[in-house]
């Protein structure tokens, strides 16, 4: 646990009592603060009370008397689409509002660091797609190289729940736009921006607000090194804002579609090969085509970003390459769950939107595609140009018939359930085919989460005959 600094003897309100909220309360108490807890959910309050915490209604009149700050969980709206009433009261009364990310950065460094030979560092990863894989890959590479490392944030543990730093440690944090948007302190040593595509637009009042939330990681903190994907205009803009010249190697530009040799430092992947260029010359190359845990151009972009971050930390190319080959990938993200009778089965249940599904469809040949669920605004018609590798689709869930209409004349079958889709795809698959679950839809019509959907797919595949 990271004891929170700066609030000793002060009352600090905590709104939202999920994983990060309870970890925040414990970290505040460890730092000498007096946490005042509340959640609008009776179930969440009950769990907190079972864990030994008392709850105080922050919505009542006078609740913020004597309170020094309000720490809110990332999922609670603090501005758009409508400000939470408790947050609105705090702001109206001039109470500083922060989140656990802000507390982490104000509390991470301690006097103990004066005795360390190597100062601990933080690598923070944000973006729309690929940030979880990139975060996990950086952590994996560091562990493979024998560097002390922890991983937290939007993946794994809450940021205040990790252990205090040891000599030379690197903490790798995945940060969502919900987390970067509100944090009052953002001071990463290395900041990574993967890419940008529409998501959470209601929470940020549009695409510009969404990008602005991501950009805060760079603009507020001024990282020593910025690793920036430049395959979208926003990334090109951000790299330009961060670099003082084209040769400025404090900015490492990353791409999975274009050569970037003209800059001071760049890493890009083309036709399955990762290349590192510095000052106009290639200095390293890695063949990514046989790295099973990183299939497709979107994962090659993740590999480039992770490679760039680890090179910034002083790791050699051959060390990073070896770690690539031992990376198994993340569950539900282009995860190969089995190969049976010459057929590969891939669980990409995390592909809950069109953009993520598009990346999966571009990553594999000879696809038998399982898709559907609770469709999102805008539909899936934009996927039509990417269906060249799809031999047949098997549609499930609430949007099955809508998908069939939007993607006509794609050969398809309305299966309704995952059981029927897996059975039909397996029965018709031939050696060399890939049965791909990439739903392009939310899971909530049939499952509690995309994880449960992916687990069901994997269990059904495991039950198929070898």
DSSP for 11-50, written as a single string: EEEEE--SHHHHHHHHHHHHTT-EEEEE-S-HHHHHHHHH
Angle subtended at Cα 252 by Cα 247 and Cα 253, rounded to the nearest 5 degrees: 95
**Which residue matches tokens 């790299």?**
239
User: Binding site annotation covers 176?
Assistant: no
Residue 134 counted as an annotated binding residue: no
Compute the distance between CA of residue 33 and CA of residue 43 in angstroms, rounded to an integer.
25
Q: Is 266 annotated to bind ligand?
A: no
127 has binding-site annotation:
yes
Element (H, E) at 395: strand 390-396
Q: Is the peptide bond before 81 cis (omega within 30 degrees of 0)?
A: yes
Give yes or no for a contact between 446 and 349, defined as CB atoms under 8 angstroms apart: no
CB 306 within 8 A of CB 137: yes
Name 310's bridge partners. Answer: none
Residue 383 is given by DSSP the state: G
149 carries a ligand binding annotation: no
225 DSSP β-pair partners: 190
**Alpha carbon distance 412, 428 (integer Å):** 12
Q: Is the dihedral of CA 345, 347, 353, 356 positive or negative?
A: negative
Closest CA to 30 of 56, 4, 64, 60: 4
**How does DSSP classify residue 442?**
B
Task: Supply 421's token pair.
Answer: 């889709």
Distance CA 130, CA 194 (A): 7
Tell me: is residue 131 an annotated ligand-binding position: yes
Give the Cα separation of 239 and 249 in Å (integer): 11
Instruction: Give the closest residue to 342 by CA, choosing from 369, 371, 365.
Output: 365
Please tell me whether 194 is known to bind a ligand: no
- d(CA 100, CA 182) in angstroms, rounded, equals 10
| Phi and psi, residue 255, nearest 5° | -150, 150
Binding site members: 127-133
Binding site members for ATP: 127-133
């Amino acid at each position: 646990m990271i004891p929170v600094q700066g609030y000793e003897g002060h009352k600090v309100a905590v709104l939202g009592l999920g994983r990060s909220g309870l970890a925040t309360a414990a970290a505040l108490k460890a730092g000498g603060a007096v946490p005042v807890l509340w959640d609008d959910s009776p179930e969440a309050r009950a769990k907190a009370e079972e864990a030994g915490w008392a709850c105080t209604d922050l919505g009542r009149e006078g609740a913020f008397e004597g309170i020094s700050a309000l720490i809110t969980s990332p999922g609670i709206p603090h501005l758009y689409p409508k400000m939470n009433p408790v947050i609105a009261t705090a702001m109206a009364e001039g109470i500083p509002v922060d989140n656990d990310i802000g507390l982490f950065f104000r509390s991470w460094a301690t006097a103990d660091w004066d005795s360390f030979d190597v100062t601990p560092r933080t690598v923070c990863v944000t973006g729309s797609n690929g940030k979880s894989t990139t975060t996990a890959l950086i952590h994996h590479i560091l562990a493979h190289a024998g560097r002390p490392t922890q991983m937290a944030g939007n993946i794994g543990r809450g940021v205040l729940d990790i252990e205090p730093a040891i000599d030379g440690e690197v903490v790798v944090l995945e940060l969502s736009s919900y987390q970067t948007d509100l944090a009052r302190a953002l001071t990463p040593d290395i900041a990574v921006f993967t890419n940008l595509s529409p998501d959470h637009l209601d929470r940020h009042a549009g695409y510009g607000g969404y990008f602005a939330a991501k950009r805060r990681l760079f603009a507020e903190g001024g990282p020593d090194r910025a690793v920036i994907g430049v395959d979208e205009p926003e990334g090109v803009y951000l790299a330009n804002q961060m670099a003082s010249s084209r040769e400025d190697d404090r900015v490492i530009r990353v791409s999975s579609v274009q050569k970037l040799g003209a800059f001071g430092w760049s890493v890009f992947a083309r036709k399955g090969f990762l290349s590192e260029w510095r000052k106009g010359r290639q200095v390293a190359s890695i063949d990514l085509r046989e790295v099973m845990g990183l299939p497709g151009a979107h994962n090659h972009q993740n590999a480039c970003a992770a490679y760039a971050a680890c090179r910034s930390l002083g790791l050699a190319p051959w060390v990073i390459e070896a770690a690539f080959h031992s990376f198994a990938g993340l569950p539900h993200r282009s995860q190969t769950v089995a190969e049976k009778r010459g057929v590969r089965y891939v669980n990409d249940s995390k592909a809950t939107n069109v953009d993520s599904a598009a990346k999966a469809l571009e990553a594999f040949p000879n696809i038998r595609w399982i898709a559907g669920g609770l469709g999102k605004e805008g539909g899936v018609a934009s996927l039509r140009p990417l269906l060249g590798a799809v031999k047949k689709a098997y549609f499930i869930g609430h949007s099955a018939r809508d998908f069939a209409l939007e993607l006509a004349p794609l050969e398809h079958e309305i299966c309704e359930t995952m059981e029927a889709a897996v059975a039909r795809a397996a029965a018709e698959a031939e050696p060399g085919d890939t049965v791909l679950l990439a739903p392009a839809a939310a899971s909530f019509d049939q499952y509690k989460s995309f994880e449960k959907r992916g687990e069901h797919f994997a269990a059904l595949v495991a039950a198929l005959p070898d």
